[in-house]
Structure 1
Amino acid sequence: MACNANKDKQHMKRLKTGSETNKDTDKKSSLTKNYERQDYTCSVLNGMNDSRKQGKFTDIVLCVDGKEFPCHKVVLINGSDYFKCMFSSGMIESNKHRVTINGVEAVAMETILDYMYTGKISITSDRVQALLEVANLVLVFSLVDLCLSFMFDHIEASNCLGIWQILKSLNFSESCRRAKNYALEHFKLVTCQDEYLDLSVDDLCDFISDTALCVDREKTVYEAVMKWFRHDTDSRCKDLEKALELVTFELIDTEYLIDHVEKDVSTVNWELAMGIMDKMIINCDISERRKGNAVAIVGGLPGRGQGGFSPWRSSSDDKICYFDPENDSWTFLTHAMHFDIADDPVMFNNKIFVPYGRRLRTFDLDNQTWNDEDIPEKIESYFENHFVKWMIIQGILYIIVGEEDGFYPDDDESKTPFLRYDMTSKELTSLTPPAEGTVLSAMAVFRKRIYVFSRAYFRVPSNAVMQCYDCESNTWTDLRDIPTEVPMEDVNAVVFDRYIYLFQNASRLYVYDAMAEEWLPSIAGIEEHRQYINCGGAVCNCKLYIMGGESEDDGTYTDQMYCFDPTEDRWEVPGKLKQPLASPRCVTISKPPWCRDL
C-alpha cells in the first residue's frame, strides 16, 4: 500500500510538472495579430450623426436663431475649443441641458455641426463670410482654415477689398495683410470695381496711404480718390480733404495740377484747391515715396548686330538694371555673374532666383548680396544641360524638364521629368509628368495651379496642348479647347488678376480666363513688332510690359519696349531697353530704396 501511495505521488508530481511545462510552451507559442478597421471611426461618427438628426441619445441642445439642434457633448468638445471650454471648465452651461448661442445664423450653425460630425463641407462664395464668422466664434480652427483657403483660391480684383474688410474685422492680421497686398498690387484695376466705390473714408485712407501701393504715377492715386468722391459727392464733401491729404501732389507735374487738380477740387472747395497748389510749391522735400514695383532685366542675349551671329560685349553687359515706371528710367540694381542667362528668373521672399550653370543663385534685395541656393545634384544637372521651366510656389520649387526640339533627358523621349523640391525640408519628389509627346513652350502659375503651354509633335490634328497641374491633388488636366490662332512656339505667359496673357511679341495678346476656364477674344497690339520673336515680358503696376526680341527677317535684336494697360485697353511706348536684347529675362521686383539712377 505504501509503495502504491508513493507511485501515485510521483505520478501526480510528473503530471503537475508537465502541466507547468505546457503552460510555458503555450506562452511561447502564442500568436498575435493586430486588426484595424479603417472605416470604424467614420461609421461611429456617422451613427452619432444619424442619432443627432433623429434627436436620439443626445445630451445637449443648442438653441440658435430660434432653432434647436440636439447634439453630443463629446463631439462638440472634441471639435470646438469654444464648446470644450464651455463644458469642461465649470461654466454654468456645463450643467445645463439647453444652451443658447447668440449672434449666429441657424443655417451657418447647422453647416458647422454637419462638418464637426462628418468632416465634410461645401463652401460657396455667397456663404463663406457667414461660415467663417461662426467658425471663428466657436473656434473650429480647421474650418476657419478651409474658409480662408476658399477665399484666397477665389480672390480677384472684384472681391479683394471685401475679403480684406472681412478679415480686418475678425482681426486675422496675417490673412488681412495678404488680401490687402493683393488689392495694392492690382490697385488700378481694383479702383474700377464697385467694392472700391463703396469704401468708407477710413478704409479708403487706410488703403491709399499704404506705401506698398503699386502705381506708376501719383496722379493715378489722385484720380482714384476723385472717382471715389464722385460716386457720392453729397455725403463725401466733408471727407474729400482727408482723402486728398494722402496724395503726394509733389510727385504730380505742374501742368497736370493746373489742368486737372485745381479745376476739379476748386469746384468743390476753393480753399482746399489753393492749399494743394501752395503745398506743391512750398514743399519740395518728399519724405516718403511709395515703394512701387519695377521690371528688372537679369539676363538675355545682348548686342547681335545686323545679320551677325556673334554678340558684342561692353563693360556694362554684366549690369542688372530695372525699369522704373514712375519716371520711365533705368536704375542700376547689381552686377551679374554672367548675362547670358538661359532660364527665366523667379521672385520669392524678396529674392531673385536665377539658374546659372549648375547653380541656383539668389540676389537678396534686402541686403544686396548674391548667394548660392542649396539644391540637389539632379536639379543642378537639369539646369545645366536641359531646357527647363520652373517656378516657386509657397516655398516649393517645381521644375519641368524638356528640350525645345522635343528631346528629353530620359531614355524614353516621351517622358518629361517633373520634380517637386521642398526648399525647407530639402525633400525631392518626382511627380506625375505632363502629357506625352509635347515640347515645352510657356508656363504660368495661377493660385495653386500650374498651366503648361506646349506644342505637340505626335498629336493630330491639333498642335496646341494646354495642361493644368493641381499642386494639391498632384493631378493633370488636359485643356483641349485652345483657339487655333493661339501660337505655341516662342511664346511667353504672364498672369494678371484672373487672366493669363500669352504673346510672341507685342502685335497681339491671347487671353485665358483661368477662373472661368475659357479663352477671351485676343487683343490687337503693335503691328510693327510682329516680326520679332524671343521677346520678354512681365506684369508691373497693373500693366503688361513686352520688350526686346529677335527679328525673323534679318536676325537683328531690338531695344523696343511696349506697355499694355488692361484697365484702359491702351498700348503705350514707355521707353527703350539699355541695349538691344533677345530673350530678355524679366522679373517684377519691389523697388529697393538704396538703388541709384543710371
Structure 2
Amino acid sequence: MSLSVSGLPKPGNVRNDVRHNWEVMQSVYKLYNEQKFTDILFEFPYTTYKFTAHRLILAAASPYFLELFDQTEDDCNSLTVTKMDSDTFEELVVYCYNGQTDITAGNAERMAKGAMLLRLYEVVDICVNYMMDHISDFLVRKLIPLAAELVYEKFETRLLAYIVKNFKEVNRNGEIFDLNMTQWKFILKELDVNVVTQAYIFLATKGWYEYNATERQQYLPDLIGSLTLTEFDNDFLRQQIKPLPGCEGLATESLKKRGELPSWVAVQNWGEDWLGYKDILIYNQAKVEWVKATRLEIKRYYFSTAFMGNSLYFIGGRSRDGVSKAVLSYNLLTKTFSTMPSLQDKRTAACVAVVNNSIYVFGGKADNSLTSVECYSTSTGRWEYKSGTPTPRAAAGVAILNADIYLIGGKDLRMLNRVDVYNVSTNRWYNCNPMAEARESPAVTVHQDLIYAMSGGFRDLKTVERYDPKQDKWTKIASLNVARRYICAASIGDQLWAFGGVIGPAQWDDTVEVYDEASDKWLVKKKLPVTGKFDCVTLPTNLADNLN
C-alpha cells in the first residue's frame, strides 16, 4: 500500500483500504471471541463471570476507555466493573469491535444508560431512535426520568417534541407529572394554542403543580405568568388564578390590562326569533370558541349593528310594521336601552361603518334598493345625508381600511361584483376593480391589511376572494368547507374567521371556520352555541364583560 507523506492512504487507494480495514477488524473480532492476545480483564462484583478484551480497540472506540486506561498503571491488567451489569457491558464491548448491536424493548433502557457512560453516542442514538419509534412499548412517564438521567439533549428534545404533539393524550394518561420545571416550561412555549387552548394549558399546568405542590410551588408564578392571562375572562382570573400561591399579583395585573384590550362580539340580527330576543356572543380567546354572553330584546331583524362610545347601536331593519328607520342604542355601562334619533330613510340590509366617532349608513332597501348615505355623530345628534352611492345597492359588504370605507358587492336588480370606495374627508366616491364573482350579503372584513370577501348570494357560495389595495387586485383563495350565505367574517388576532349563516331555503347553520394561510385551507372549529346571521364588532374588553 502506497503512503502519503503524512502516513495516510492516498485518495486513489481508498476503496482497497476500506476493504482492508474491514477485514482487519473482522480478524480482531475473531481474536476477541477466541480470547487471544487480550490484555485487559473485566470482572463483576457478586458474580464469577469475567472476560478479557483488547485495550487498544476499546480505547480507539470509546473516549471513556481511553481516559480510563490513561489513568491506570501500565501493569494493571484487570478492572472491576461496578456501574453496569455484565450483559450490558459485554454487549457494548462487542459494539466497540464490530459496530453492531441489537436493541429491543427489553434492553433499550439499560443499553442507553451504559452507552452514555462509555460515551458511545452512536449507540445512544440507536437506543433513542428505537424507543421513540416504538414509543407504544414504553411509558412516556418512564422515558421522562430516563431522559433527565441521561442528560442527552437529542433524546430530551425528541421526547418533548412528542409530548407537545400528543399533549392532550399524554396529559389525559397522567404521564406529564414527572416533567421537571425546565421541561414543562419548554412544552408550554411550544404548544400550538390553535390546537390546545389556553384554558386547557392552564388546567394541565395546575395539575402538574398539584402533583407535587410542596416542591413545585416556587415555580408556579413563573409558569402561570408564561400564559396569555389576558385571554381569560374576569371571573376566571379572580376565581381560578388569583387564589394560586404567588399568582395574586399576576391576576390583578391581568385584570387591569384585560380591560384595555379589544374583545370581539357577534350580535345576532336575524335568527329563529325574528322579532324578539337576539343572542350576543363573545369570542373567548382562552377557549378558542364563541360563547353565549346574553340576550337583548330587539323587536326587529336584518338591522345593522355599530359600536360607538360606550354603546351598541341597532339601526333600521324590519319590524312588524315593515322596514324601519328606528335606531336603538344599548349602553354597556348602564345596561340600558335608549331610543335614538331616527334615520331619515327607512332601510334594511344596509351597510354600517364607524369612522372618526361618526356612524355611516350606506344604501339598503325599503321598497327598492337605495343610494342614500346618512351619517350620525354625537356632536350633531342627528342623521345627515352624505354623497350617495354611485349605484343603488342593498345587502353589500363593508370594510374600513386606511380611513376609507369600501362598499363591496350587494344587490340592486341583480347581484353585484362592484367595489366602490368612499373617502370620508372628501365626501367622494371612487371605483375599484370588481370581484371575480357577484355577491349579495357577502361576509367582508379587513385582515392583515387585505380585504376578504366570502360567500353570499342566493346560491350559497363557498368561494373567497381577497383584495390588495396597493395593487387594486382581487385574488381567489381556498373555498370554505360549507357553502352558505349571510355568514359573518372577523379578523381576530392573526386569524381570519367565518361563522354562522344560512344553508338552502331556511336552514340556519352553526359552522365555524378559520383560515390557515400556510396550507391555504379552512379549518373547522367548535360550532356556535346558537345559529343566525351576525354582525361582528370590536369592543373594549371592560365593556364587553358587562354583557355577561
TM-score relative to the length of structure 2 = 0.48
Larger Rg: 2
Greater length-normalized contact order (CA 8 Å, ≥ 6 residues apart): 1
